[in-house]
Amino acid sequence: MKKNGEFLHIKGSKFMYAWMTVFVFGSLSACIFLIGEGFSFQSNYSLIYLGTGIAFLPYMSYLAIWFLPGFKIGKILFSVVPKENGIVIYKNRKVLIKDIRTIDLVRNPLNLINDIVIESLDGEKLKIRTYNLLDDIDYDIVVDRYIYPYLTEDAQEVWNRKVNLEKLQRIAKYERSG
């Protein structure tokens, strides 16, 4: 997070950047290594190495292509103006916090990327791609600290059913103020 005037810019954590780098480039390297070892035919398992490397290389390449935009240095995932008439900003789209009906962290089953899905009172949905750079706990804390206080009562009730404040207290030592 980075505060710039009244804007709060939400960025990925350095740990998550490192974790995603290891996952993306490690899996690609492992597939290439398996293919290389398979072609050497120096082991009884060479065909298994070759088959595994060839089977997983396209999928890992597909995931790498999806994750690459998240590695842009200084990438701001989204911005929040936490106040009474505050807004959530993603790229060039804005949603008033008081117009939010629900906010969820949803994993896309095809590319395994977590998206923040905000549904407004008029039924419009805003998908904020996180590239898995925002941990589940960090997401819960950001929403609970900077968005929750300015939601409508109905939206607050929905959020209260989703968030586990005991888990946030136990893991991150976070307590809701007020």
Element at 17 (helix H, strand E): helix 14-40
Tens-digit pLDDT profile for residues 94-132: 999 999 999 999 999 998 999 999 999 999 999 999 999
Helix, strand or coil for residue 121? coil
Helix, strand or coil for residue 9? strand
User: Binning pLDDT at 50, 70 and 90, where does residue 13 land?
Assistant: confident
Domain ranges for the chain, please list them. 2-9+74-172, 13-71
The one-letter amino acid code at 144 reads: D
Nearest alpha-carbon partner for 80 in 11, 155, 135, 127: 11
CATH of 2-9+74-172, one of 3.30.519, 2.60.40, 2.30.29, 3.30.300: 2.30.29
Supply the pTM of this predicted model: 0.86
Rounded CA-CA distance 95/109 in Å is 26
What is the DSSP track for 124-140? -EEEEE-TT-S-HHHHH
Tens-digit pLDDT profile for residues 50-68: 999 999 999 999 999 999 9
